[in-house]
Amino acid sequence: MKLRHFETLKPICPLCLRNSSKDSLLNLKAVHREVKGDIYEGVLVCSDLGCQSEYPIIDGIPVILPDLRSYISQFIFPIMARNDLGETIESILGDCCGPGSALDVHRQHLSSYVHGHYGDLDPVEDKEDDAMPGGIATLLRGGLELVEEIPPGPAIDIGCSVGRSTFALAEKTDDLVLGVDLNFSMLRTAWDVLNTGSVSYPRRRVGMVFDRREFCVNFSNRDRVDFWACDALTLPFTGSSFAFASSLNLIDCVSSPHEHLTSLERVLSDYGKVLIASPYDWSSSATAVEAWIGGHSQRSEKRGESEAHIRDLFKDGSNPARVEGLKLIAEKDAEPWAVRLHERSVMKYQVHLLAAQKEISK
């Protein structure tokens, strides 16, 4: 955790925010390991004497979540996992654990997402591949064309995954940029790229066969970037903390898309802008059907079209679900994006992009 980000953004206790809507600042209680001013291991504590919840900093990543116990239990494997094993030993372990194991799922996720974030920077990757290596950077560029200009002030990249979009945002602004996500292994990868200037990941070839890819990367303004574990539904910041926010391919992956949008609006400053992108690949395993934005009830006036439903959330009118304070300023119906599964399998999407601006508080 970078002290500059902590001191500037002033995170608040997500438990107090969720339970009582209180803005209880977090204090740095202890530092157990520090390297060149960055805190690799420590503890944050809620300043409210009636709460005093603690939040750990693990391998440089502060974990600031309201359900800390369940999160740690869910992600204990990537939290405790080592990343210094060679390709041969990792391969033997993968064969022993077998398909569908925690290790297999872990490597598959990293294979797909690191390829989609940094593959275009890999000197031996086919840049013309249908799997669109580095496609997230292309998607972000298309979205920023709608935004036109990023307002001055801190920016937050919600659902940053392994971090390429966060680095790309930092190259477009002169202020702090924070990437937040729930997946600890993704955040650890982003943190490693930030601190080592190199990418190392298991690229799936077929079945349980993974090839280790390693290459150097160079991003300007990376000293202004940090990565935290935060919940997109309970962003632990006071109102008006950020001038810009991005939410790329996230809204169909959270339990409550509407809560995500209202939390996002809350942390934006007046006239702040937000970029939202989604292929609306709804799944009941991530989001209960009742919480989907479209994607069902084709007998309704909007015939279940997610684009029409989400557009309606940013319009003035009588819609009770309207996201108060955000006004749609531009959109693009179909931006290509792809997720590589292995050498012979690619999932292709058409992503809906929306740019919105926060109206001035009354």
Q: Give average pLDDT by consecutive 10-residue segment, the chain, 362 residues.
A: 96 96 96 93 97 97 96 92 89 95 94 97 91 95 93 97 97 96 96 96 96 95 96 96 97 95 95 96 94 86 86 79 89 94 96 93 58
The confidence score (pLDDT) of residue 361 equals 60
305 falls within a domain? yes
CA distance 28 to 347: 43
pTM, rounded to two decimals: 0.95
Are the C-beta atoms of residues 189 and 203 closer than 8 Å to each other? no
- DSSP alpha helices (H): ranges in the chain? 3-9, 14-20, 68-74, 76-80, 87-97, 102-118, 135-147, 164-170, 184-196, 257-267, 306-312
Do both 52 and 85 map to the same domain? no
Query: How many domains is the chain partitioned into structurally?
Result: 2
> What 3-state class would DSSP assign to 282?
coil
CA distance 166 to 338: 19
126 falls within a domain? yes
Do both 50 and 132 map to the same domain? no
Phi, psi of 282 (to 5 degrees): -65, 140
Are the C-beta atoms of residues 23 and 48 closer than 8 Å to each other? no
Pick the closest to residue 231 from 26, 64, 108 (CA basis): 64
72 falls within a domain? no
Do both 142 and 60 map to the same domain? no
Do both 24 and 141 map to the same domain? no
Domain containing residue 299: 79-358
Phi, psi of 100 (to 5 degrees): 85, -5
71 falls within a domain? no
| Tokens at 257, concatenated | 């898309």
- How many CA atoms does the CB half-sphere of 219 hold within 13 Å? 27
- What does DSSP say about strands 177-181 and 155-158: parallel, antiparallel, or unpaired? parallel
Do both 153 and 13 map to the same domain? no
| Tokens at 143, concatenated | 């979205």
The confidence score (pLDDT) of residue 318 equals 61
The confidence score (pLDDT) of residue 104 equals 94
Residues forming beta bridges with residue 199, ordered by sequence position: 215
Do both 37 and 86 map to the same domain? no
Do both 52 and 88 map to the same domain? no
The confidence score (pLDDT) of residue 260 equals 96
Do both 39 and 178 map to the same domain? no
Do both 8 and 133 map to the same domain? no
Do both 48 and 166 map to the same domain? no
Phi, psi of 90 (to 5 degrees): -60, -40
Do both 51 and 124 map to the same domain? no
Amino acid at 296: H
> What 3-state class would DSSP assign to 240?
coil
The confidence score (pLDDT) of residue 359 equals 86
The domain boundary, picked from 64, 92, 107, lies at 64
The confidence score (pLDDT) of residue 128 equals 83
